[in-house]
Structure 1
Amino acid sequence: MNKQLIMTTATGAALLLTACGGSNVKTNAAGLPQLGAATGASLASCAELATKINFANTTITGANAIAAGTLTVAGKPVPAHCQVTGQMYKRTSTVDGKSYAIGFEMRLPNNWNGRFFYQANGGVDGSVVPATGPVGGGGPLDNALNQGFAVISADAGHGAPTPFFGLDPQARLDYGYQAVGKLTPMAKYIIETAYGKKPDRSYIGGCSNGGRHTMVAAARYADQYDGFLVGNPGYRLPLAAIANIAGAKAYNSLATTPGDLSTGFTLAERKLVSDAVLAKCDELDGTADGLVQNTQACQAAFDLNRDVPTCSASRDGTCLSAAQKTTIGGLFAGATTATGTKIYSSFSYDAGLATGGWASWKFNSSLNLDTGAVGLIWQAPPEDLATFNGPNFALNGDLASMLAKVGATNATYTESALSFMLPPNPSDLSALRNRGAKIMVYHGASDPIFSSDDTTAWYNALRTANGGDASNFSRYFNVPGMNHCAGGPTADQFDMLAPLVEWVERGKAPDSVLASVRGAGNAGGVNADLPANWTATRTRPLCPYPKTAKYKGGGSIEDAANFSCES
């Protein structure tokens, strides 16, 4: 019997005992277990931890007292804490001869709130960044460490943010999911050693690949965490990367300067499309405010061929050529192989196309970051490192071959990328649900690399798997205008960790999350993508899907209080 089945069975038994009066397990209004609130403790000693910690396959390299104010968040001093550094499973690869280990750091507050936060990092990992704990969005005003959580950050099993580790089969698996599985019990042991008790509640969260890590944990390690905070998840990351490579080919075919993909869809042309989307969809929420709140309705209302002028002569930024409409429209509908096989997902038309962040992912990352990941980390076998060239791989490689190879295995690479990178059975989160855990997901509608359409499709499948409504343990929040994790013409500054804690530990489900823009003077950093006619302090409610924010019909459109979440 596997661990997930044991846990589910045990939870069912606990619920049965509750119904018979044989246990003090509490249930909420939905009939699911209601987890209790965490209680805090004080750190006895930082310096002694280095000698007290004794965990299998783990080497502690330091335990350092960090004074209050050494770290800051939004200009505020983070309280005093202990930084513990170390490595797990140090080894030398028998495949590429390189040295590998899972590097990590933990930050343990002197005044601990009784909670643990696993910081799932982005990109291809490879760096032990400060363990502060993201709370969501751009320009954060707070973090988990500042709120009193004990936080871990790790490099996911390789020591550089490059794709070369993909030659080692075990490093692939650690990056995909095994590092989380190995680090989690070790981190809880360190917490127990430091405070004299295990964490009462455990949370995991991150954005981008960190969102993928978190979704994988929700499927594989539901027994280890009580709250999951998922941002812009690339939960089908290998497929999204191949789709972005398909985009590179497409934009290059339109480019007036071959090799410069941005000339295939210029800034003026991207602004033209964004403005056309706003003209058709902005007022669907009851007011013209530069935000498309109802993303789903907009896809039905907007038509690229009809609503954007077609060039009768040369391209000049006021129109799209017929070839552009066919090619770009095809990418938004969902990139395909030469034989028509859909690679990944459709993308939503939204107002955030005319930004540097959108362009960077489409025109630069597709030639470099995505190619290295597909060719070296996910393909079986990987490309020859000695001759590999990212742009050449993107512009001249065969999409169908890439798709086949990321799903392939061989004697050396015995688990495919579509297995080690993706959550197994992503719409079956019954183990998470049945033990009283909760998951909150957010995704920017203008994300250029991981499609919010893909996340919406996942959430609809989750709803279907739960009788049409999964809101008693999961909530999904679309963020209008937001690019990849932050930026774009959007209200992208929000804290989703605090409401997740309220939901997990006190049963208060988040009916909306307050988001603000990052205008001039913002303590978390200014968002350069904001339109000039927005106030610097605009706020909006982020609504749980399928609800969207609608203007109430009166009051300032700069104030979230004048919007409500409606179906």
Structure 2
Amino acid sequence: MKPKITLLASLLAAGTAPAFAAGLACTNDSIAALESADLSISQIETVGAGEGFAVDHCRILGAAHARTGADGKDYQISFELRLPNDWNQRFVHQFNGGNDGSVVPAVGELKGGDESDTALNRGYAVVSSDAGHAGDANPDAGLAGGARFGFDPEARRDYGYSAVSKLHPLATTLVETYYDDRIDYTYGVGGSNGGRHAMVAASRMPEAFDGLLVGYPGFNLPRAAVQHAWDIQAFKAINGDVRTAFSREQLKAVADGIAQACDSLDGLEDGYIADTDACQTTFNIESLQCDAAMTGHCLSKAQVAALTAIHNGPVNSQGVPLYSDWPWDIGIGSGDWRFWKLETPIPPWNNQPLIGVMGSASLAQLFTTPPIEVAGTPQALEQYLLDFDFDSDAPKIYATTDRYTESAMDYMTPPDSENPTLADFNNQGGKMLIFHGVSDPVFSVNDTTNWYRKLDANNNDQAEAFARYYRVPGMPHGAGGPTVDDFDFFTALVDWVEQGKVPDAVVAGVMPGNDDAMAQLGQVERKLCPYPQVARYTGGNEASAASFACEK
């Protein structure tokens, strides 16, 4: 346990937290007692079990650090805090995903797709925020509106890291004030951009968290956004329409080809490729290119070239890598992969993929300096990516100006991401558990793997003493895909933090409703092994995790 257990007293002594009256009631009569120069409370209400929640709790809505931005817009860090009646003296800061911009219910989702198993229902107090901006504040900007806050330097900074550092002491003080008791353990939980928030917090706020659960993190988000342009240009070149560049049947054929080449590498042909690294040297995409003798859903030469370029990652005209390469994995045939890369069922987006709409707006307005205002139509957003120049435009994620004194890479990535040590986090006793789907279509698992390798090397090959990393074969961007996606990394993290129980293999099953997994694998369990170990079949019941061992 870190010494921050006396957080309320220390914050008050330092003058960095408001002096609330202790033991407040969960009624609107308490609002006046909570107001301060940096904090306003709009609502306090009791929420009973059975109203979509398993526990009775108090819900507080508020906002912090209200201001007018350099762009003339109003900003504040809006938040929701939920406080269970039966509190376990623990707190979760819920980091949200995407461009943030809305206050997602502060429940602390612990398993993708399982709304019942949350930190709140386990007795944790939980806070959630919009990261300092309202995503619906610019309706006139159309589909580009959610990223239009990128024209305010402080809103960029809040989104990148400072909303967490501003809100966290206020939220923990509110928790300790409400219960008139201290927080024993503090956790941060997030996936995607939320995973990035967690990694940034480990570097910028190493004393604030006992444990961080980092899911499929976009810690290199500006570089990953450059990949959006690379992908759209590659797909567009095939037949002039990104949405039809590959049929579902063709991507399934790619997934099947990967399985045929790699499925047995872990000792069992079961539709699940545990040995990701060996697969990269075994599978050859050119084996699926059409020739006169081939039938079925083979690929054209242009399609093979596009997939090869995408998996190699973006480069400039000198061949300098601009992001990361990507692994071949069976999740390429999943609906999630298609949703991000090729096509969505969303008519207002003209069925364009997520990277071609929301990703385009973010690259132009959040990660380019100075920001470029793009029209909020699907056609304009796609055209911006088609016109993107990897020599002249890509370097703008590193650029600064007199107004924008921090580049996108400065405010979005952990300060030590290029050469990570997490020395302060480790010295404070913090523990971090990272997991990432091998088939993630938006943030390359290879990028996370390379980051972890650097972290391990910089800690004399002992990073596993405080940070453990798990790859989930077949999983795209979060739960789903042809994989085992029902797992509980949070309990493993808590046991590590509070009991010193070092996490090893985590048993995973198939989440109810995951049709891709049921069709590919059936109802099975598998072991997810800490990197660089691989779950290998040792004999016995093929559906049981006990039949697998974690080996290098």
Query: What TM-score does the superposition give when structure 1 sets the normalisation length?
Result: 0.86
Quick one: distance in 2 between partners of 1:329 and 1:482?
A: 20
Query: Residue 473 and residue 533 in structure 1: after superposition, are their counterparts in 2 closer, same or farther (change >3 A)?
Result: closer
Q: 2:330 aligns with which of 348, 351, 354?
A: 351
Quick one: distance in 2 between partners of 1:437 and 1:333?
A: 35
Say which SS state the counterpart of residue 367 (structure 1) adopts.
Answer: helix
1:527 is matched by which residue type in structure 2?
N
**2:83 alignment counterpart:** 108
Kindly indicate whether the alpha-carbon contact (under 8 Å) linking 2:259 and 2:330 is maintained by their aligned counterparts in 1.
yes
**1:497 alignment counterpart:** 490
1:256-293: CA deviation from partner (whole Å, max 9, x where unpaired): xx2x2132232222111111111111111111111111
Quick one: distance in 1 between partners of 2:406 and 2:289?
A: 47
**2:194 alignment counterpart:** 210
Say which SS state the counterpart of residue 536 (structure 2) adopts.
Answer: strand
Runs of 5+ unmatched residues, structure 1? 1-7, 12-41, 73-77
Q: 2:314 aligns with which of 312, 320, 335?
A: 335
**1:445 alignment counterpart:** 438
**1:506 alignment counterpart:** 499
Query: Residue 386 and residue 444 in structure 1: after superposition, are their counterparts in 2 closer, same or farther (change >3 A)?
Result: closer
Q: 1:549 aligns with which of 535, 538, 542?
A: 535
1:36-65: CA deviation from partner (whole Å, max 9, x where unpaired): xxxxxx976311542332444110111111
Query: Residue 88 and residue 566 in structure 1: after superposition, are their counterparts in 2 closer, same or farther (change >3 A)?
Result: same
**1:83 alignment counterpart:** 59
Count of residues in correspondence between the two structures: 510
Kindly indicate whether the alpha-carbon contact (under 8 Å) linking 2:229 and 2:388 is maintained by their aligned counterparts in 1.
no
Quick one: distance in 1 between partners of 2:376 and 2:316?
A: 25
Kindly indicate whether the alpha-carbon contact (under 8 Å) linking 1:188 and 1:198 is maintained by their aligned counterparts in 2.
no
1:415 matched to 2:393: no
Deviation at 1:466, TM superposition (A): 0.8
Query: Residue 462 and residue 55 in structure 1: after superposition, are their counterparts in 2 closer, same or farther (change >3 A)?
Result: farther
1:203-262: CA deviation from partner (whole Å, max 9, x where unpaired): 00111000111111111111111101000001000110111221110011012xx2x213
Runs of 5+ unmatched residues, structure 2? 5-21, 137-145, 343-352
Q: 1:362 aligns with which of 341, 347, 363?
A: 341
**1:480 alignment counterpart:** 473
Kindly indicate whether the alpha-carbon contact (under 8 Å) linking 2:314 and 2:324 is maintained by their aligned counterparts in 1.
yes
Quick one: distance in 2 between partners of 1:330 and 1:394?
A: 16
**2:124 alignment counterpart:** 149
1:529 is matched by which residue type in structure 2?
D
1:478 is matched by which residue type in structure 2?
R
1:408-435: CA deviation from partner (whole Å, max 9, x where unpaired): 1111111100000000113121111112
**1:561 alignment counterpart:** 546
Quick one: distance in 1 between partners of 2:114 and 2:314?
A: 32
Quick one: distance in 2 between partners of 1:141 and 1:277?
A: 35
Deviation at 1:381, TM superposition (A): 1.1
Kindly indicate whether the alpha-carbon contact (under 8 Å) linking 1:503 and 1:510 is maintained by their aligned counterparts in 2.
yes
Deviation at 1:534, TM superposition (A): 3.3
**2:26 alignment counterpart:** 46
Quick one: distance in 1 between partners of 2:431 and 2:394?
A: 33
| Structure (1/2) with the larger helix percentage | 2
Say which SS state the counterpart of residue 401 (structure 1) adopts.
Answer: coil
Kindly indicate whether the alpha-carbon contact (under 8 Å) linking 1:59 and 1:87 is maintained by their aligned counterparts in 2.
yes
1:346-368: CA deviation from partner (whole Å, max 9, x where unpaired): 11100111122101111212211
Q: 1:190 aligns with which of 156, 166, 174?
A: 174
1:471 is matched by which residue type in structure 2?
E
2:516 is matched by which residue type in structure 1?
D
Quick one: distance in 2 between partners of 1:199 and 1:443?
A: 29
Query: Residue 387 and residue 312 in structure 1: after superposition, are their counterparts in 2 closer, same or farther (change >3 A)?
Result: same
Q: 2:265 aligns with which of 284, 290, 304?
A: 284
Kindly indicate whether the alpha-carbon contact (under 8 Å) linking 1:447 and 1:482 is maintained by their aligned counterparts in 2.
yes
Deviation at 1:406, TM superposition (A): 1.4
**1:405 alignment counterpart:** 396
Pairs within 5 Å for 1:160-239: 160=135, 162-239=146-223
Kindly indicate whether the alpha-carbon contact (under 8 Å) linking 2:510 and 2:518 is maintained by their aligned counterparts in 1.
no
Kindly indicate whether the alpha-carbon contact (under 8 Å) linking 1:137 and 1:494 is maintained by their aligned counterparts in 2.
no
Pairs within 5 Å for 1:516-527: 516-518=509-511, 522=512, 526-527=513-514
Kindly indicate whether the alpha-carbon contact (under 8 Å) linking 2:210 and 2:431 is maintained by their aligned counterparts in 1.
yes
1:377 matched to 2:366: yes
Quick one: distance in 1 between partners of 2:256 and 2:339?
A: 20
Query: What TM-score does the superposition give when structure 2 sets the normalisation length?
Result: 0.89
Kindly indicate whether the alpha-carbon contact (under 8 Å) linking 1:514 and 1:541 is maintained by their aligned counterparts in 2.
yes
Kindly indicate whether the alpha-carbon contact (under 8 Å) linking 2:228 and 2:360 is maintained by their aligned counterparts in 1.
no
**2:345 alignment counterpart:** none
Say which SS state the counterpart of residue 486 (structure 1) adopts.
Answer: coil
Percent of residue pairs bearing the same amino acid type? 42
Quick one: distance in 1 between partners of 2:199 and 2:114?
A: 23
1:424 is matched by which residue type in structure 2?
P
Quick one: distance in 1 between partners of 2:95 and 2:234?
A: 32
Query: Residue 316 and residue 339 in structure 1: after superposition, are their counterparts in 2 closer, same or farther (change >3 A)?
Result: farther
Pairs within 5 Å for 1:61-76: 61-72=42-53
Quick one: distance in 1 between partners of 2:266 and 2:116?
A: 28
Query: Residue 542 and residue 138 in structure 1: after superposition, are their counterparts in 2 closer, same or farther (change >3 A)?
Result: farther
Deviation at 1:405, TM superposition (A): 1.3
2:81 is matched by which residue type in structure 1?
M
Taking only aligned residues, the RMSD between alpha carbons, in angstroms, comes to 2.1
**1:132 alignment counterpart:** 107
2:308 is matched by which residue type in structure 1?
G
**1:425 alignment counterpart:** 416
Kindly indicate whether the alpha-carbon contact (under 8 Å) linking 1:136 and 1:231 is maintained by their aligned counterparts in 2.
no
**1:250 alignment counterpart:** 234
Quick one: distance in 2 between partners of 1:86 and 1:71?
A: 22
